């Protein structure tokens, strides 16, 4: 059934449809509406779950770890400093192989204080061992949360999943969203049957002390698990597509086939890039877009096959490099080109920090700069460029 609804509330409804049993969360802008709505659903008896109020995001993730380890389907959400306060426990959740699902309303990190959107929070947590999905619109948020549980709880995976939605740009926008029925979700998402749980009648140890003789092997096994989750993620996407008739792939494209110049980006900003591409088409100029839906595990070969034979590859980052030569998404794409011997020219643009608007005209200007301007071409290829910065 299609409903006009704020995306944050829709995310909470998706958790309800997934029959979440435990919610532990702490409010922080711009994700607060998600957990507020979940608390209402639980309090009104519309959701059969335990809602745990905690004193911080660190405690929220700690409570989720305990709940998931005891065999409960568990959900939380956070943003910005909240995600970073969880940072220690994010690694624990992944290493213990706990299928927690967390929505992250992406927001800029302080300082200076900003409540607006960019990807600096999730990029600071990109290597914590969680599967990470990025959403372009509200429908994708709902569908991704439901799919996240199917992925996380698969015995071939057993890893936590982070569903990223741009703060305010998505979280507070009202969109028409097609909600599947509870019966349909129940058919797609079976009851969680954990392999191992904490229970006083069947004592087990989780997260035991590891000496140097064991630690490397444990981390290697964890890394293999997240890499080996890719076929399962594709399998779940395919099954969801077949059942609900909404197509999902780990990487998606727009106007790519006959375009020598392509953008690579993640999140809601893709819609502005597509608008720019449509405007360029009116002027008889061709440009494509590669949309990364799955960021961890990074779909190297899938992206390589799409970028092969492309002349100009424009990578859009929404976080500062922090002292590196280029942004975090650019570094991943650069690794793809090296590993698979893709020969396109790489360009890195950093946009939309702290919620600054990035309009279709900005992407048209980037396209023109890369394809038409001969001046400073070498400089563009050698380093990133921040759009709209006043120096």
Question: Which residues belong to CATH 3.40.50.920 in the chain?
Answer: 251-386
User: Which pLDDT belongs to residue 374?
Assistant: 63
Q: Is the pLDDT of residue 381 over 80?
A: no
Report how far residue 75's alpha carbon sits from residue 87's, in angstroms, rounded to the nearest whole number: 17
Q: Residue range 43-68: average pLDDT?
A: 98
Q: Which CATH architecture group holds 251-386?
A: 3-Layer(aba) Sandwich (3.40)
Question: 322-345 burial string, b = 16+ CB within 10 Å, else e?
Answer: eeeebbbbbebbbebbeeeebebe
Q: Is the pLDDT of residue 67 over 70?
A: yes
CA trace torsion 333, 334, 338, 340 (10° rounding): 10
CB-side exposure of 15: number of CA atoms within 13 Å?
35
More confident residue, 196 or 30: 30
Q: What is the pLDDT of residues 289-317, one digit of tens each?
A: 999 999 999 999 999 999 999 999 999 99
More confident residue, 153 or 380: 153
How many beta carbons lie within 10 A of that of residue 285, not counting itself? 16
User: Which pLDDT belongs to residue 383?
Assistant: 83
Mean pLDDT of all residues in the chain? 96
DSSP state, 179?
Answer: P
- Contact at 8 Å (CB) between 131 and 229? yes
User: Which pLDDT belongs to residue 1?
Assistant: 75
Q: Tokens 């995310």: give the residue.
A: 11
Q: Residue range 355-383: average pLDDT?
A: 85
User: Which pLDDT belongs to residue 153?
Assistant: 98
How many beta carbons lie within 10 A of that of residue 137, not counting itself? 18
Q: How confident is the model at residue 377 (pLDDT cuts 50, 70, 90)?
A: low
Q: How confident is the model at residue 380 (pLDDT cuts 50, 70, 90)?
A: low
Q: Residue range 313-330: average pLDDT?
A: 96
What would the two tokens of residue 265 be? Answer: 């980006």
Q: Residue range 174-189: average pLDDT?
A: 98
Check the CA dihedral 116-177-180-33 and report its sign: positive
Q: Over 98-145, what HEC string results?
A: CCCEEEEEECCCCCCCCCCCCCHHHHHCCCCCCEEEECCCHHHHHHHH
- Contact at 8 Å (CB) between 311 and 344? yes
Give the residue from 49, 56, 7 showing the smallest Cα distance to 28.
Answer: 56
Question: Which residues belong to CATH 3.40.50.970 in the chain?
Answer: 2-243
Q: Residue range 132-140: average pLDDT?
A: 98
Maximum alpha-carbon separation in the chain: 72
Q: Is the pLDDT of residue 354 over 80?
A: yes
User: Which pLDDT belongs to residue 148?
Assistant: 99
Q: Is the pLDDT of residue 263 over 90?
A: yes
Question: What secondary structure does DSSP assign to 286-307, as a single string?
Answer: --EEEEE-EEES--HHHHHHHH
How many beta carbons lie within 10 A of that of residue 71, not counting itself? 16
Q: Residue range 255-261: average pLDDT?
A: 96
Cis peptide before 213 (omega within 30 of 0): no
Q: Is the pLDDT of residue 378 over 90?
A: no
Percent of the chain with pLDDT strictly greater than 90: 93
- Contact at 8 Å (CB) between 352 and 117? yes
Q: How confident is the model at residue 12 (pLDDT cuts 50, 70, 90)?
A: very high
User: Which pLDDT belongs to residue 7?
Assistant: 98
What burial class does residue 211 get, using C-beta atoms within 10 Å of its C-beta: 0-12 exposed, 13-18 middle, 19+ buried? exposed
Report how far residue 54's alpha carbon sits from residue 64's, in angstroms, rounded to the nearest whole number: 11
Question: 180-210 burial string, b = 16+ CB within 10 Å, else e?
Answer: beeeebeebbeebebeeebeeeeeeeeeeee
CATH number of 2-243: 3.40.50.970
Q: What is the pLDDT of residues 194-251, one digit of tens each?
A: 988 999 898 988 988 999 999 999 999 999 999 999 999 999 999 999 999 999 999 9
């Amino acid at each position: 059934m299609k409903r006009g609804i704020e995306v944050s509330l829709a995310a909470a409804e998706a958790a309800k449809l997934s029959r979440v049993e435990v919610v532990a969360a702490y409010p922080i802008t711009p994700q607060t509406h998600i957990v507020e709505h979940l608390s209402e659903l639980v309090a009104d008896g519309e959701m059969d779950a335990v809602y745990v109020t905690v004193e911080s995001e660190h405690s929220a993730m700690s409570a989720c770890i305990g709940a998931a380890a005891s065999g409960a389907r568990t959900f939380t959400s956070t943003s910005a400093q909240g995600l970073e306060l969880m940072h220690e426990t994010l690694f624990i959740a992944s290493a213990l192989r706990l299928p927690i699902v967390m929505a992250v309303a992406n927001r800029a990190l302080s300082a200076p204080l900003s409540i607006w959107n960019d990807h600096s929070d999730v990029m600071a947590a990109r290597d914590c061992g969680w599967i990470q999905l990025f959403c372009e619109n509200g429908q994708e948020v709902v569908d991704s949360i439901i799919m996240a549980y199917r992925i996380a709880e698969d015995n071939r995976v057993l890893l936590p999943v982070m569903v990223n939605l741009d703060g305010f740009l998505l979280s507070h926008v009202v969109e028409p969203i097609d909600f599947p029925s509870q019966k349909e979700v129940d058919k797609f998402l079976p009851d969680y049957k954990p392999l191992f749980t904490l229970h006083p009648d069947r004592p087990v140890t989780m997260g035991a002390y590891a000496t140097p003789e064991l630690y490397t092997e444990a981390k290697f096994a964890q890394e293999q698990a997240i890499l080996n989750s890719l076929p399962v993620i594709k399998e779940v996407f395919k099954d969801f597509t077949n059942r609900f008739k909404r197509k999902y792939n780990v990487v998606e494209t727009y106007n790519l086939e006959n375009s020598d110049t392509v953008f690579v980006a993640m999140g809601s900003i893709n819609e502005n890039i597509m608008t720019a591409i449509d405007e360029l088409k009116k002027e008889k100029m061709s440009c494509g877009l590669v949309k990364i839906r799955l960021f961890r595990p990074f779909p190297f070969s899938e992206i390589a096959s799409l970028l092969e034979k492309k002349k100009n590859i424009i990578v859009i980052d929404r976080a500062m490099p922090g002292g590196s030569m280029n942004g975090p998404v650019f570094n991943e794409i650069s690794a793809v080109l090296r590993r698979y011997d893709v020969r396109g020219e790489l360009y890195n643009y950093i946009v939309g920090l702290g919620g600054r608007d990035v309009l279709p005209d900005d992407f048209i200007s980037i396209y023109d700069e890369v394809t038409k301007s001969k001046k400073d071409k070498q400089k563009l290829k050698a380093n990133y460029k921040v759009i709209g910065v006043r120096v």
